[in-house]
Amino acid sequence: MKRIILTLVMCLSFSWLFGQTNNFKTVGADEFEEFIADTNVVVLDVRTEAEHAEGFIPGTHYNIDVLEETFTQVATETLPKDKPIALYCRSGNRSKSAARILTENGYQVVELGTGFRGWQSAGKEVAKP
């Protein structure tokens, strides 16, 4: 019995230490579309300027490239902390990094798990500059 309890405690400890805990919500295209319909939500594109110029989700307020070393500084100086942030990238990888950075800085974040490509695949509207 002690061995089972010890094994369970070790597994839970490793899960806690190495498990990925996100303080942000990842959603699909339909839920993202519903979320950003709220005018209180700030929509952030974390792709490069060149990617953004090819098309973006309508209602996007800001384009701040998460790959730039100044991302955290620019984002925290630009984005309001009293409003939820909905963010996306091309495929959902960079947006998770951006979401972690923003939640660590006190933001409430929802990220589009499938990214802009998933948005397009779902047949959602795309805006052009």
**Catalytic center residues:** 89
User: 93 φ, ψ to 5°?
Assistant: -85, -55
Residue written as token pair 């110029």: 53
What residues contact residue 110 under an 8 Å CB cut-off, 6+ apart? 24, 25, 26, 27, 32, 35, 41, 84, 85, 86, 87
